[in-house]
């Protein structure tokens, strides 16, 4: 039997599920780890106008967050790992074995396959002989077609081996990756472990449960919440979602006549939203462009009346706002958009633009909370000062 939700209750559920309502329930490095494990994955993107999308994600939910916490969990303690889930994501290291079929799939990737196959022995030899390698140090000057256009043959070969699970990321300097043999990370067993789920249908069901954990309110319709689950048709998705509901692993809910699914592990958030048990204190957060909360932008528009497009790939003359505009959450509403930009050389975080929603009139309480969120952002960007260049 479906549970009936109205828009206010559904919006409340999403805020509670994502740790965006009330006091922050995640704290410090352990909070970073628990949040990632709770959701399953956090999307990564290298672009850093103010901070990277993943850094903004953790900042909005984890009290006392610092980028060094995430870096340590990824490349020192090895509790988390970079790999493909929705897209490139940060996932718990224990989950890597479930992506064995993804690694196997990359072995059949056709672009520049013959050329890369010839280079792989030399790359692996270099990785075996060194603590870590970087493509630019391999002395391979040729260029090849690759995922995002032409690149060096060295980069394409190293990345293919990384995608296939033959190499791991040893560490990063900024966005530059240094690679190594997985055994040299101390967690090599996760790269060689067999797939725990050999059956395709059961694997798809595992992925759907995972996406329900990662996003919160799964729709039957197509959305970005389903990116990265290759080989599953829309009809199969609907059938498997219903099977998971019949098995008691998903909770079917009805929102204005449309069916959605919530994972059983999120029942407490659902009940709190249904009962109106949600604190709406004067909390203000800057939401990352690729935040899990934003994965189904049509749903976000329906629940919050907030239409969002990440305009970084939109030609400048066609942009409505800016290249890296962040939704601004205040209390329980998406009230505005902001474009902060960090200049790490001068140590200044500049607010380049601010656009409030038509219904929203910024109060003194909002401004205080908003400026606090900018100062928190400045803190993780290495900036000492916030410069407001626009009206609020």
The residues, any chain, with a CB within 8 Å of residue 126's CB and separated by 6 or more, are: 133, 138
Whether 186 contacts 171, CB under 8 Å: no
The confidence score (pLDDT) of residue 109 equals 87
Q: Give the residue carrying structure tokens 């479930």.
A: 98
Nearest C-alpha neighbor of 206 from the set 234, 244, 153, 171: 244
* Diameter of the chain measured on Cα atoms: 64
- Region of 22 please: left (phi>0), alpha (psi -120 to 50) or beta: left
> How much is the pLDDT for 261?
98
The pLDDT score that the predictor gives to residue 276 is 85
In b/e form, how buried is each residue of 144-166, taking b as 16+ CB within 10 angstroms? bebeeeebbbbbbbbbbbbbbbb
Residue identified by tokens 């410069």 is 387
pLDDT of the residue at 77: 98
Q: Domains in the chain, please, with CATH?
A: 284-388 (3.40.630)
Tokens in use for 245? 């509901």
User: What are the start-end ranges of the H helices in 262-341?
Assistant: 267-274, 297-304
pLDDT of residue 282: 85
Which pLDDT does position 350 carry in this prediction?
Answer: 98
Compute the distance between CA of residue 5 and CA of residue 246 in angstroms, rounded to an integer: 19
| CA 33 to mean position of chain CA atoms | 14
pLDDT, block means (10 residues), the chain with 392 residues = 93 97 96 98 95 97 98 98 97 98 92 92 96 93 88 94 97 95 96 95 97 97 94 94 97 96 97 86 94 97 96 92 96 97 96 97 97 98 96 94
Strand partners, 3: 253
Residues 338 and 326: beta-carbon distance below 8 Å = yes
* CA–CA distance, 79 with 74 (Å, rounded to integer): 6
Please tell me the distance from the alpha carbon of residue 390 to that of residue 392, in angstroms, as a whole number: 7
Beta bridge partners of 91: 81
Helix, strand, or coil here: 94? helix
Nearest in space to 350 (alpha carbons), one of 313, 379, 378, 330: 378
- Give 328: exposed, middle or buried? Use CB within 10 Å, 0-12, 13-18, 19+: buried
Collapse the DSSP code of 161 into the 3-class scheme (helix H, G, I; strand E, B; otherwise coil) and give the result. helix
Calpha distance 382→342 (Å, rounded): 9
């Amino acid at each position: 039997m479906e549970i009936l939700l109205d828009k206010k209750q559904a919006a409340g559920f999403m805020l509670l599920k994502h740790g965006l309502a009330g006091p922050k329930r995640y704290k410090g490095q352990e909070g970073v780890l628990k949040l990632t494990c709770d959701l399953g994955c956090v999307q990564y993107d290298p672009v850093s106008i103010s901070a990277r999308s993943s850094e903004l994600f953790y900042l909005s939910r984890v009290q006392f967050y610092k980028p060094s916490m995430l870096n340590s969990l990824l490349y020192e303690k090895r509790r988390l790992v970079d790999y493909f889930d929705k897209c490139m994501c940060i996932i718990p290291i224990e989950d890597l074995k479930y992506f064995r079929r993804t690694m196997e799939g990359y072995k059949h990737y056709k672009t520049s396959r013959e050329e890369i196959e010839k280079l792989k022995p030399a790359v692996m030899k270099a990785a075996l002989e060194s603590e870590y390698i970087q493509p630019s140090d391999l002395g391979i000057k040729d260029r090849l077609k690759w995922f995002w256009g032409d690149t060096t043959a060295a980069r394409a070969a190293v990345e293919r081996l990384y995608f296939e699970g033959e190499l791991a990321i040893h560490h990063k300097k900024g966005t530059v990756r240094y690679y190594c043999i997985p055994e040299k990370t101390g967690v090599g067993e996760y790269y060689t472990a067999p797939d725990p789920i050999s059956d395709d249908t059961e694997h798809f069901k595992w992925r759907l449960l995972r996406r329900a954990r990662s996003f919160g309110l799964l729709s039957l319709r197509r959305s970005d919440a389903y990116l990265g689950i290759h080989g599953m048709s829309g009809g199969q998705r609907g059938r498997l979602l219903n099977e998971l509901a019949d098995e008691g692993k998903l909770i079917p809910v009805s929102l204005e006549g449309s069916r959605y699914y919530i994972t059983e592990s999120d029942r407490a958030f659902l009940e709190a939203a249904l009962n109106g048990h949600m604190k709406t204190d004067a909390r203000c957060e800057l939401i990352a462009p690729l935040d899990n909360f934003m994965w189904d932008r049509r749903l976000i528009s329906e629940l919050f009346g907030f239409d969002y497009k990440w305009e970084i790939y939109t030609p400048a003359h066609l942009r409505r706002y800016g290249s890296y505009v962040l939704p601004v959450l205040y209390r329980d509403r998406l009230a505005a958009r902001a474009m902060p930009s960090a200049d790490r050389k001068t140590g200044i975080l500049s607010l380049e633009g601010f656009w409030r929603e038509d219904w929203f009139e910024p109060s003194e309480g909002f401004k205080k909370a908003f400026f606090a969120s900018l100062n928190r952002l400045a803190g993780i960007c290495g900036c000492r000062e916030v410069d407001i260049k626009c009206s609020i």
